[in-house]
Amino acid sequence: MEREVSKVGKYFGIFIALSLAANTYVYAETFLDQVVVTPLKKPTRILNVFNNVQIITSKEIKLQGYESINEILSKSSSISIGSNGGYGQTKSIFLRGTESNHTKVLINGVDLNPGTLGVPSIQHISVDMIQRIEISKGSMSALYGKDTIGGVINIITKKNIGNKISISTGTHNTKNIVYSGGLNYMNHKFSTNINRLESDSFKAKVTSTEKHAYDTTNLDFNYVINIGQSEVSANYYKSTGNTEYDSFGSNLNQNHRDNHFKFNVNYMFADSYLDLFYVKKTNEINQAALSATDYTHTKINSFGFEYTIVGNESNHTLIGMDYNDEAMYELSYGTSFKHTNKIKQAYISSTHKISEKLQTNFGIRSQNHTTYDNFISGNVGINYYLNQSFVISSSLAKSFRAPDATDLFGYGGNSKLNPEESRASEISMRYKVSDNESFASTLFHNKITNLIESDGTKMQNINKAKIYGIDISYEKYVNNKKLDIQYTYQEPKDQTNNVILSRRPRSRLIGNMTFFLKDAQSVGITTMYESRRDNSIYDANQLGSYVLVDANYTRDIQGYEVGFKINNLLDKSYRLAHNYNTDGRSFNLTIKSDF
């Protein structure tokens, strides 16, 4: 343990030394100045929210050359990614030590998590479509309902005007082409994002006999029309493709399909607005081998409204109701089921400024679930302002995760499972040191009961967990350099078995330095450290600690944006899941152009 902490201190010291290497400043917006929508469903500066929030913008994606969603998320110290191989293979999100099905992933506000397997297929989302990602850490049940024990990740796609095409190629015969564009015509706005990615990838498992190829096509279409004081909008998203994988030594492949249609009507009043919405979504995985019959499908229809009394950043109230019709179908290992849920929900969230120094937030949600009857969840938050640049926050939250349909009725399922319940608390300090420097830290604690695990025969409510730790973020602009440091220390304890929860490290450190050079050039260097962790409570295997270094170069040349990325610069070997491969040193070249 001392050796682990020593390593963390060593890398921390390197990046702090870099930040102090110069003392001439230029103005730039720090992360506390950024405006976020997800935590309160209203534009709010990060300085003024009640929980820990992180934003990744399209500009950062470009500067760091990120090639996949899991690569982006892994550069948050609060998130550890599990991976069953390369492109298209299953990825898991462990946010603040919680389970991979405890974090809700949204695309333009629509839930990506399926009702069967529970884990969202983030590996199929095109990075080139993304305008921004908002990571809200900690329980978000009042505004987002079940499955938010760990938090909410909201992925917002681009809505560009004009036309842009991007072509990239890289290691493993990886090819990616993207079109992004749109137009305004009178009071109509259209935008489209189209992506096609193909890769031979690499062998998924250490014992695999061949590479496991992957392809996917993504489409995102947005339409907005303004009619008087009202706005009508529609979003259609679809991701389809094929993934080859290793199943107990056999090389198989499966097709995926995630899509949704969202329709909104927004009515503006003098000091409030009403948002009516309808969502239809599908998540499908189908085995594609000639003799294969297994599949897992989720189909959801949802409609409702949200009424917001606008006020200002310090005072506003949101009231909402929705109805969800959820149908799930699965055939796996000879076990099949068809199951439906009807879910009715009502919720309210209110933010109020009591005095110049004190601001409060209160949220509650009542849910009626046909399988689990009624459940009340919610949160309470307080902001205390020492001054306009220094805020201390505290919050309490209660949330739950209903067992997914596979837990209940799939192979090894148990129809008598209880929902997992969470009681979380945190206290944060956010300090804007200057226009060029910001610091934030959060102490968090999460107690989870009725954790669902397999006892070797079927799923059971056999575990309870206690997770506590600290998040630290620091950002500073020095001359033409930007320094960004994130560190998370956590104790994710399985209290039933008296062990650390599987695949969750105690320590993660992310350090990024971006150099802004002449002639629209930049160089980004990112170092990531993750401490060792157990692979599973069912085996004695451990995943070792590792340090990765990535480098990216960008330049604008006569209307073209050119990027060259080297991942795993030092060609280190590491594992994100036992017996599954990760990539060695790899390269990617991207060229973008407007037309």
Shortest CA distance to 216 belongs to which of 381, 87, 67, 35? Answer: 87
- Measured CA to CA, the distance from residue 574 to residue 561 in angstroms comes to 32
pLDDT along the chain (595 residues), means of 10: 50 49 51 91 92 94 92 95 95 94 96 91 94 95 93 95 93 96 93 97 95 97 94 98 93 96 95 96 93 93 96 87 96 93 96 94 94 91 96 96 92 93 96 95 97 87 93 94 96 90 95 92 96 88 95 92 96 95 96 87
Report whether 45 contacts 313 (CB < 8 A). yes
Give the bridge partners for 541, in sequence order. Answer: none
3-class SS of residue 548:
strand
The token duo for 366 is 């009542």
- Residue 314's pLDDT is what? 80
The token duo for 436 is 């060029």
Q: What angle do CA 186, 191, 193 make, to 5 degrees?
A: 170
11-17 LR contacts (CB < 8 Å, sep 24+): 11/509, 11/511, 11/527, 11/529, 11/547, 12/485, 12/487, 12/509, 12/511, 14/511, 14/527, 15/483, 15/485, 15/511, 15/513, 15/527, 16/485
- Measured CA to CA, the distance from residue 216 to residue 490 in angstroms comes to 35
- Measured CA to CA, the distance from residue 55 to residue 151 in angstroms comes to 14
The token duo for 346 is 């009502």
Q: Tell me which residue has tokens 């006892």.
A: 455
Report whether 379 contacts 142 (CB < 8 A). yes
For the chain, how far is it from start to end, CA to CA, in angstroms? 55
Q: Tell me which residue has tokens 């009502």.
A: 346
The token duo for 419 is 């929902």
One-letter amino acid of 212: H
Give the bridge partners for 340, in sequence order. Answer: 327
- Measured CA to CA, the distance from residue 321 to residue 306 in angstroms comes to 7
* CB neighbourhood size of 542 (10 A): 12
The token duo for 88 is 């298209």
* CB neighbourhood size of 168 (10 A): 20
- Measured CA to CA, the distance from residue 271 to residue 307 in angstroms comes to 11
The token duo for 394 is 């505290």
325-328 LR contacts (CB < 8 Å, sep 24+): 325/300, 325/301, 326/115, 326/298, 326/299, 326/300, 327/298, 327/299, 327/300, 328/114, 328/115, 328/116, 328/297, 328/298, 328/299, 328/405
**542-to-1, 90, 505 alpha-carbon distances in Å:** 15, 20, 11
Contacts of 339 (CB under 8 A, 6+ apart): 327, 328, 405, 408, 409
Shortest CA distance to 491 belongs to which of 461, 447, 441, 528? Answer: 447
Report whether 446 contacts 149 (CB < 8 A). yes
- Measured CA to CA, the distance from residue 378 to residue 395 in angstroms comes to 11
Shortest CA distance to 87 belongs to which of 208, 209, 214, 252? Answer: 214
- Residue 220's pLDDT is what? 97
Residue 6 has φ and ψ, to the nearest 5°, of -60, -40
The helix (H) or strand (E) run that includes residue 62 is: helix 58-64
Report whether 46 contacts 430 (CB < 8 A). yes
pTM confidence score: 0.94
